Amino acid sequence: MDHLGDLNLFLRVLDLGSISAAARSLDLSVAVASQRLKRLERGLGVRLLHRTTRQLRPTPEGLALAEQGRPLVEELDVLTSSLRSTAKSVAGTLRVTIPASFGRQYISPLLPQFMARHPRLRLHIDLSDQMRDLVGEGLDLAIRIGTLKDSELVATRLASNRRVLCASPEYLRRHGVPKKPEDLAKHECLLMAVGRDSSDVWSLRGRDGQSVDVRVQSRLKSNLGEVIRDAALGGLGISLHSTWHVCEDLRAGRLKLVLPDYSLPESAIYAVMPQRRMVLPRVRAFVDFLTQQLGVTPPWERYLAAKPSKK
């Protein structure tokens, strides 16, 4: 950047005809401008200007530098102007990673509205249940569901993530309805597994505030929530699901709540971003938009609470 700054000064000297005029245009003293021109000549190993008491003219090397260097300075001016504009407006490319099912069900339908608000914005949406490295993969933002681990990332809570136990009516007819948490140990349960880790202990809290931990057994584990949901719908066992994932199944009666008087540990949906001194306007705009759309009571909870329409 020093070299480009010195090159810009040299071009100003040629355009304005004197070091003093160039110095004034860049808010420099004549002494500083002269030192920077000498530094540029030393760095290149050539003389760029012939100086006399009456005139200042470029050497052949100076002319060559001006001819080839001017496009570089002009391109840098265009780039810096563009970056300053981007820093103040919602523009550029926003790269976001979102869990696949949640992104498809709840974020994808909102994208046309968001992009209509910001016509200078480009979106790159990664739908994946893998935990992406935001910094390493050049991502601006991640939507993550669950309990966040301590990290150097910055998180904004978007919505609650209520979780429930559920099973198909057929499974409950064949195997009976659990009456208390301890009954779960006698049932087939369907488990989410991330990598080699899967939690086979479910913690439930009763209305009296007492917690009960139950170790469950499972013939089926998966890292994809859709597999667990399909297995529950197929009558293979009791599953633990976020309400956003199964709200339509619950409303339609394809799944039934199990132990509805007990709650599972608190969870939430977050927007997570790398730690930066300044949050880019495009990132802030997307986070604010999602916060507004999801609201205090998320749409899936409003759907569950609404009375069924009469046919």
- Do 217 and 189 touch, CB atoms closer than 8 A? yes
Q: How many CB atoms lie within 10 A of CB 26?
A: 14
Q: For the chain, how long is the longest CA-to-CA vector?
A: 105
Considering only CA atoms, which of 302, 306, 308 is closest in space to residue 162? Answer: 302
Report pLDDT for 266: 81
Report pLDDT for 311: 47
Handedness of CA 311, 247, 110, 104 (dihedral sign): negative
- Do 140 and 283 touch, CB atoms closer than 8 A? yes
Upper half-sphere CA count for residue 67 (Cβ side, 13 Å): 7
Upper half-sphere CA count for residue 199 (Cβ side, 13 Å): 7
Q: Record the tokens describing residue 11, joined without a space.
A: 């071009």
Instruction: Give dist(CA 44, CA 47) in Å, integer.
Output: 8
Residues forming beta bridges with residue 167, ordered by sequence position: 256
Instruction: Give dist(CA 112, CA 18) in Å, integer.
Output: 55
Report pLDDT for 52: 73
Instruction: Give dist(CA 239, CA 255) in Å, integer.
Output: 10
Q: What is the length of the chain?
A: 311
Q: Give the pTM.
A: 0.69
- Do 22 and 34 touch, CB atoms closer than 8 A? no
Report pLDDT for 112: 96
116 Cβ contact list (under 8 Å, min separation 6) = none
Digit-by-digit pLDDT tens for the chain (311 residues) are: 567 788 888 988 888 888 999 899 888 999 999 999 999 899 889 999 987 767 788 999 989 998 888 888 777 776 666 666 555 678 889 999 999 999 999 999 999 999 999 998 999 999 988 888 887 788 899 999 988 876 778 899 999 999 999 999 999 999 999 999 999 999 999 998 865 555 789 999 998 889 999 999 999 999 888 999 999 999 999 999 999 999 999 999 999 999 999 999 888 999 999 876 567 888 999 999 999 999 889 999 998 988 665 54
Handedness of CA 198, 201, 206, 209 (dihedral sign): negative
Q: Record the tokens describing residue 265, joined without a space.
A: 């540990």
- Do 265 and 160 touch, CB atoms closer than 8 A? no
